[in-house]
Amino acid sequence: MSRMKSFLGLPDANDKVLHLAKIMTVLGPLSNFTFVLSTTFYVIFVAEALGGGPGMYLQGMGLVGTLVVVQMVIQIALDYPTGAIGDWIGQRWIITSAGICYALSFIMLSTVTTATPFYYLVVIYVLSGLAQSQQSGAFGAWFDNNYRVAMPGDRDRKQYGVFLGRMGMMMQIVATASLIPGSILAVIISRAWVFQLQAVLAIVLAIMSFVIVRDFPEVEAQREKRPNMSEYFGILKGGVSFLFKYPFVRYIIIGSMVATSSIMVWGNLILFPMYYMYVMS
């Protein structure tokens, strides 16, 4: 047990905190494995379907860009509302819903062919954006709310920060490693089969989240004191005002937004298509 505490960066953790940490160390890497499995060929698959067939992905990249924009708009528009709803009803419902939306998007994607109408792909990307808006920060919010109750002695949040750092490391390792089996399975079996596997894993993740992601009684009691939706929008308005009031905060937030957007565009529209062109050459 002491080795586990040391590995997780939680030397003073009690049983409640270890319970939370174990759930995070299982569901976090599993979610990364599930959703990153097809990353190396996801965009190429869609682009070839829109372009007219195998090898014709360049003809479809313009439409893929439109789909990515749709996905990002849905995610940005629903990120805050889904977070507020999670505070009201509990994050496990939001995490479970995200898994179901991912599963639907993957199972629909596995049926895509060159004859698939464009609006069908729009629905897929809308579902994906909805899933990402729900998953974004949901695990972290659940862990943070319950950690505050289970570990009141960690006032400076040092152990909390160490644990999140190590969790992030493990999740990135799993995400990177999952690219290899995903690509191999796509070559040996098919890309559509990998999407179907992701749909099954997403359902498994949703069921596991619904069963084991639970709030402590103290957290559930605090939920009754949560702000209503109008108060949430008041908080949002205050946050935006704070953003433009202090230049340092404004530049940090804008810089983070530009960096995140650039990474999304790089990963979705440039990196793997460019890599695919290199391999084909």
pLDDT at res. 127: 93
Q: If DSSP codes are grouped into helix, strand and coil, which group holds residue 189?
A: coil
pLDDT at res. 88: 78
Locate all alpha helices (DSSP H) within 136-216, ordered by sequence.
138-150, 158-188, 191-212
What is the b/e burial string over 183-202, where b = at least 16 CB atoms within 10 angstroms of the residue's CB? bebbeeeebbebbbbbbebb
pLDDT at res. 276: 58
Q: How far is CA 31 from the centre of its chain?
A: 8
C-alpha 227/C-alpha 241 separation (Å) is 19
Non-local CB neighbours of 156 within 8 Å, separated by 6+ positions: none
**Whether the Cβ atoms of residue 56 and residue 234 lie closer than 8 Å to each other:** no
What is the b/e burial string over 120-142, where b = at least 16 CB atoms within 10 angstroms of the residue's CB? ebeebbbbbbbbbbbbbbbbebb
Least Cα distance to 160 among 1, 9, 7, 5 occurs for 9
Q: If DSSP codes are grouped into helix, strand and coil, which group holds residue 113?
A: coil
C-alpha 81/C-alpha 281 separation (Å) is 46
pLDDT at res. 26: 86
pLDDT at res. 2: 65
C-alpha 228/C-alpha 205 separation (Å) is 30
Q: How many CB atoms lie within 10 A of CB 234?
A: 12
Per-residue pLDDT tens over the stretch 20-31: 888 888 888 888
**Whether the Cβ atoms of residue 196 and residue 37 lie closer than 8 Å to each other:** no
Pull the structure tokens for residue 179: 């690219």
pLDDT at res. 267: 61
Least Cα distance to 134 among 206, 78, 69 occurs for 78
Where the chain has pLDDT below 70, the residues are 1-5, 7, 9, 11-13, 55, 57-58, 154-155, 222-236, 238-240, 242-243, 260-281
Locate all alpha helices (DSSP H) within 213-271, ordered by sequence.
217-223, 229-245, 247-265
Question: What separation in angstroms does the CA of 30 have from each of 117, 168, 246?
Answer: 32, 13, 39
